[in-house]
Amino acid sequence: MSVRTIITPDNEVLRKKARRVADFADEKLQRLIDDMVETMLDAPGVGLAAPQVAESQRVIVIRLPDDEESLEEYGRDAGILHVVVNPEIIKSSRDTVEGVEACLSIPGFFGKVDRHVAVTVKGQDRHGRDIRIKARDWLARVFQHEIDHLDGVLYIDKASEIWRASPEGEATEE
């Protein structure tokens, strides 16, 4: 496993629709997934899509923090690693909520984005087995953010407001 370089919007891969994965036995796919997990955790981030490491494949990895504070906030979703290949949202709640987002590919900025409160995602695991995940709240937001990456969409495209982070890296509105 190795940490890969996270690309920024000046790399055209980030703005293209990613290709579906068909060959789950491909050693390169398995290495990509392992590298994505390591890259996400090293960044540190809560989600990463393959296009963010310059791979035009429909693969995402997500893991909410599991420190003591996060366990209280995220409950059973904290610390669970989600690896989803060819993910698609098949159901969304009517209710939406605006929340603050950031992105490893757009360092130093935050934005307010309206997202569905709950989504159901279907796809395959890293071995090609069908999976279905019901996500709410922050986990649902992360799934929507990462799946957008697979279609070449960045959170800044949907944000109602964008601002630069403070020197300490915190979200402070200017």
Q: Could you say which DSSP state residue 94 is in?
A: S
Alpha carbons within 13 A on the beta-carbon side of 85 = 20
Alpha helices by DSSP H, listed for the chain, are: 27-42, 68-74, 137-150, 155-158
Q: Which among 27, 55, 98, 146 is annotated as catalytic?
A: 146
Distances (CA, A) of 24 to 13, 30, 67, 130: 22, 8, 33, 12
Please write down the HEC assignment for all residues of 118-149.
EEEEEEECCCCCEEEEEEEHHHHHHHHHHHHH
Is 146 a known active-site residue? yes
Distances (CA, A) of 106 to 27, 84, 103: 30, 23, 5
**Catalytic center residues:** 146
